[in-house]
Structure 1
Amino acid sequence: MNFRPFLILLALIWPLCASANQADRKQSELDALKQRLQTLQQEFRNTQANRQEAADELRQSERSISSAVRQLRQLDDERQRAQTDLQALAQQADATEVRIRAQQAHLAQALKAAYQRGQGDALKLILNGADPNQAARDLRYLTHLSRAQHETIEALRADLAQLAALQQQTEQKSAELTRLQMDREAEQKKLLADKRAREQVLQKLSVQIQKQQREISNLKRDERSLTQLVERLNRLMAQQAAREAARARAAQRAQKSQKTEKSAASQPRRGLGVNTETPVAFRSDKPFSGLKGSLRLPVAGELMNRFGAQREGGGVSWKGLFIRAAEGTVVKAIAAGQVVFSEWLRGFGNLIIVDHGEGYMSLYSNNESLYKQVGERVQPGDPIATVGNSGGQPDAGLYFEMRHQSRPVNPLLWVK
C-alpha cells in the first residue's frame, strides 16, 4: 500500500489543524496505519511460504527435464547403432546373393555339359566295349564330377539358408528401429510436457517474487512514513504554514525522483561484452595452474557483469560471470577433470561442478539439463550441460565460477 499521496495531502492540511480534536483524529489514522502494517507483515510471511513451495515444484520439474533430455540422447545413440547394424546386414545379404548367382550359373553349366555328353553314366561306359583303361579314367572323372556337383548344390543350399537368416535379421532390425523411433517420439512428448509444467512453475514463482519485492518495498516505505507522521503529529500546532508548504514541495520532488528512478530501472539490462570462443579439445601435460591465460569460457554469449562488482539491489558481490545465451546452447568443459557434483541446488538450479586438481574447480549453474554424472571424467570441450534459466533466474544463460581452495577467482584472468 502506498501512503505517499496521503502524506502529501496531510502536509497541505496541517496548517488548518488548530485543535486537539484534530490531533486525536490523526492519531486514530496512525493506529489504522499500524494495523495495516501488521497485515502487510503477515502477507509477507505468507508470500515467503508460497515461494518455498514454488521453489520445490521448480526443482522437481527441472530434474524431470534434465532426465528426459539425457534419455533422449541415449535413444539417439541406440538408433544410430541399429542403423549401422542394418547397413552391415544389407551388405552381407548383397554378397550372399552374388555368391548364389555364381553358384547357380556354375551348376547350370555343369548340368549342360553332362547333358551334351549324353549323361555318360558308368553302366554305359562298361557295356560299350571301350578300352578298359580309358573306361577306368572316365569313371574316375564322372565320380569327381558328381562329387563336385553335389558340393556345389550343398553350398547353394547353405547360402540360401544364410540369405533367409539375413533377411530375418534385417526384419528384426527394422522392427527394432521402429520401436526406437516410437520410444524417441514418446520421450519428446514427455519432454514437451515437462517443459510446459516448468514454464507454469516459473510463471508462478516469478509472480510471487515480484509480489514479495513489492511488499518489502512498501513495508519499508510505510515504516518511514509512519515514523515521520508520528513526529509531525507531536509538533502540529508549533509549525508554520511556510514550513508545511516547503515539506509538501519536498515530498513532490521526492515522488518525481522516485518516478525517474523507476523509469531508469525499467530499461533492459545491457551486457558488458560478448564472448565468441568456446573450449575445444586439446591435450596438455601441464597441471591446471599452468593453463592460466589459455582457457576459453564455457559458452558463447553476452557477459552481463564484472567479477567482484556489487549485485543489483545491493547485498553480496558477483563471485563469477553470468553469460546470457539462448536456451539449449551446449555448455562445454573448460579443461580436463572429474565431475564431483551434478544435481539441482537451491538458488543455482541444475548445477555441475568439475574438479581439475590442485584445489581448482569450475562451477556451471542455471542449466536446462545436465549431461554428466558424478564420477565421470571430462575432457576440454566436452558437452556437459545445456543453457537454461533454472533456479529462478529471469534470463536464460550460464552462471560460471572458478574457485581455488574454495575461494572465488576471476575467470577472465584464465581465458585468452
Structure 2
Amino acid sequence: MTTTFATRAGSKLISTLLLSTTCLTSFFTTSSFAVSQAELKGVSGEINRQQQSLSQQKKQLDSLQQQLKDQELGISSIEKEIRQTKNELAKTESSIKQLEAKVSKLEKQRAEQSKQLEELLKTYYITQRSKASSNLLNNDAEADRISQYFQYLAKKRSEVIQELESTVRELDSSRRQLDLQKQQTTQLLDKQTQKRDQLAKSQSQRQGTISKIQKSISGDQVYLAELRRNETRLKAEIAKAAKRNNVPMDGLARQKGKLPWPVKGRILHSYGSAQTGSLHWKGLVIDANYGQAVKAVYSGKVVFADYLRGYGLVVLLDHGKGDMTLYGFNQSLMKKEGDKVKAGETIALAGNTGGQNQASLYFEVRRNSVTQNPSSWLTR
C-alpha cells in the first residue's frame, strides 16, 4: 500500500517535472524568438534612419551646391558690370580730356579774336579820322583810298565779330558737355562703388556656403561620391556637345607638343595625380591670377559655355575629329555657345568658381571623349 502510494507519488512527481520542463523550454524558445524579432526590427529601423539621413544630407548638399552656383553666377554678373562700368569710365575720361583740350583751344582762339578785334577797332578809328581830314583837304584820291580801306576794315571787323560769337557759342556748348560728362563720371563711380560693395557681400556669402559644403562632404566616401557625380555631369555635357557640333575641323593631331599654354602659371595639380580616394585628376590645374585672360590653345568652336557643378564656369571647345579642350574654374566667360574662336583668342577670365579656394584654371584635352595628358600637348 505504502509502496504503491510511493510509486504513484513518484510517477506523479516525474510527470509534473516533465510538464514543467516542457513549459520552460517552450517559454524560452518563444522568448528568444521575440528577442530576435525585436532586434531585427531595431536594425531595420536603424537602416531606414541612416538612409533617410543620407538622403537628407544629399538634399542639403544639392541645395548648398545650387546656392553656390547662384552666388558664383551673381558674382560673375557683378564683375561683368564692373568691367563695363570701367570701360564706360575710361571712355568718359577720354572724352573729358578731349573736351578740355577743345575748351583750351577755343579760349586761346577767343583771346586772339578779341585782340584782333581790338586792333581793328583802333585802325577803324584812325581811318575815320584820316577820312575826315581828307575831306577837309578836298583830296579826292586820298579820300577814295581811305574810304575803300575803311570798307575793308568794316567788313573784316564784322567777320571777326561773327567768328568770335561762334567761338563763344561753341565754347559754352563744350563747357556744358564737359559738365555733363563729369556728372556722368560721378554717377558711374557711385554705381561702381555700389557694385563693389554688393560683390564683397556676395563673396562673403559664397565663402560661407563653401564652408557648409565642405562640412557636408567631410567624409572621404561622401566627397568621393560627389566628385563622381560631378564627373558624370561633365561626361554627359561633353557627349551632348559632341552630337551637336558637326562642323568639320582639322583636329589637334598635328599640334601635339606645339600648343600654347592657356594661362601662364605653375602647375598646382598634374594629370593623373591623386584627387581623392581612387579618383585622379583628368586634366591640369594651373595657378592663375584672378581675372587673368584665358586663351584658346587652338582654333575651334564653342560647344558649351555655362556653369557646371564642380567645375564652375566652363568653356568647351571642339577642334574637330573628336578633339576637345576644356577650360574650367573661370570667373567669367567671354564667349558663348556657337562662337568660333581663333588660337590665342581670350575665351574666359580665370577665377575660382566651382567652390575653389584660389584662382586657377582647370584644363583638359580629350580625344574621342578620352582624356589625354595636357602636358604632352602643350609646349614645354
Q: Tell me the TM-score range normalised by the shorter chain.
A: 0.7 to 0.9
Residue number in structure 1 paired with 2:255: 291
Structure 2 equivalent of residue 90 of structure 1: 100
Aligned partner of 1:409 in structure 2 is 372
Render the CA deviation track for 1:33-69: whole Å, top value 9, x for unaligned.
5643442232112111111111221211111111111
Range 291-300 or range 34-43, more displaced? 34-43
| Greater alpha carbon shift after TM alignment, 190-199 vs 172-181 | 190-199
Which residue of 2 is the match for residue 302 of structure 1?
267
Partner of 2:209: 201
Q: Supply the distance in 2 between the matched residues of 1:363 and 1:408 (Cα, whole angstroms).
A: 10
1:68 corresponds to which of 78, 82, 85: 78
Q: Distance in 1 between matches of 2:358 and 2:129?
A: 90
Are residues 86 and 394 of structure 1, via their aligned partners in 2, closer, same or farther at CA, if it must alter by over 3 Å? Answer: closer
Secondary structure of the equivalent of 1:83? helix
- The one-letter amino acid of 1:167's match is R
Is the 1:362–1:402 contact (alpha carbons within 8 Å) kept by the matching residues of 2? yes
Give 1:280's aligned residue: none
Distance change in 2, residues 1:287/1:126 (3 Å): farther
**Letter in structure 2 aligned against 1:346:** R
Q: What is the rounded CA distance, in whole Å, between the counterparts of 1:24 and 1:324 in structure 2?
A: 64
- How far is the alpha carbon of 1:142 from its aligned partner? 0.9
Name the CA distance, whole Å, in 2 between partners of 1:304 and 1:37.
Answer: 39
Number of the residue aligned with 2:360? 397
- The aligned counterpart of 2:57 is 47
Within a 5 Å distance, the mapping from 1:370-385 to structure 2 comes to 370-385=333-348
- Quickly say closer, same or farther: Cα 1:396–1:31, change in 2 above 3 A: farther
Match of 2:112 among 64, 79, 102: 102
Q: What is the DSSP-based 3-state SS (H/G/I as helix, E as strand, rest coil) of the residue aligned with 2:214?
A: helix
* Matched-pair contact (CA < 8 Å) for 1:304–1:324: no
Give the secondary-structure state (helix, strand or coil) at the position aligned to 1:207. helix
Return the alpha-carbon distance in structure 2 between the equivalents of residues 335 and 179 of structure 1: 41
- With normalisation by structure 2, the TM-score equals 0.74
SS at match of 1:128: helix
Report the AA paired with residue 147 of structure 1.
K
**Would the aligned equivalents of 1:361 and 1:402 in 2 still touch at CA under 8 Å?**
yes
SS at match of 1:367: strand
Task: Note if contact 1:44-1:216 (Cα within 8 Å) is conserved in structure 2.
Answer: no
Which residue of structure 2 lines up, in the alignment, with residue 222 of structure 1? none
For each residue in 1:249-274, what CA deviation from the matched residue of structure 2 results, as whole angstroms up to 9, or x when unmatched? xxxxxxxxxxxxxxxxxxxxxxxxxx
Post-superposition Cα deviations, 1:6-54, rounded to whole Å, max 9, x if no partner, equal xxxxxxxxxxxxxx9xx99997878755643442232112111111111
What one-letter code is carried by the residue in structure 1 that aligns with 2:172? A
Q: How far apart are 1:329 and its partner, in Å?
A: 4.6
2:163 paired residue among 155, 170, 175: 155
Could you state the TM-score of these two structures normalised by the residue count of structure 1?
0.68
Deviates more, 1:145-154 or 1:318-327: 318-327
Percent sequence identity is 28
Match of 2:314 in 1: 351
8 Å CA contact 1:329, 1:387 repeated in 2: yes
The alignment partner of 2:204 has SS state of: helix
Structure ranking higher on relative contact order (CA contacts 8 Å, 6+ apart) = 1
Structure 2 alignment gaps of length 5 or more: 1-28, 226-249
**1:313 maps to which of 267, 277, 282:** 277
Secondary structure of 2:354's counterpart equals helix
Q: Unmatched 5+ residue regions in structure 1? A: 1-19, 218-285
Partner Cα separation in structure 2 for residue 390 and residue 117 of structure 1:
83
Instruction: Output one character per residue of 1:158-207: Cα deviation in whole Å (capped at 9) or x when no partner.
Output: 11111111111111111111111111112212211221221222122211
1:141 aligned partner: 149
Distance in 1 (alpha carbons) for counterparts of 2:159 and 2:288: 69
Q: Could you tell me whether the CA contact under 8 Å between 2:315 and 2:333 is conserved in 1?
A: yes
Q: Using the alignment, how far apart are the partners of 1:377 and 1:191 within structure 2?
A: 31
1:79 to 67, 83, 89: 89
Does the CA-based 8 Å contact 1:326-1:397 persist in structure 2?
A: yes
Q: Which residue of 1 aligns with 2:242?
A: none
1:4 alignment partner in structure 2: none
Q: 1:313 to 1:396 in 2, by over 3 A?
A: farther
Asked if 1:364 is matched to 2:327, the reply is: yes
| Total equivalences in the alignment | 326
Work out whether residues 224 and 277 of structure 2, in 8 Å CA contact, stay in contact via their aligned partners in 1.
no
Cα gap change, 1:83/1:359 in structure 2, threshold over 3 Å: closer, same or farther?
Answer: farther
Larger Rg over CA atoms: 2
Question: Secondary structure of 1:193's partner?
Answer: helix
* RMSD after superposition: 3.4
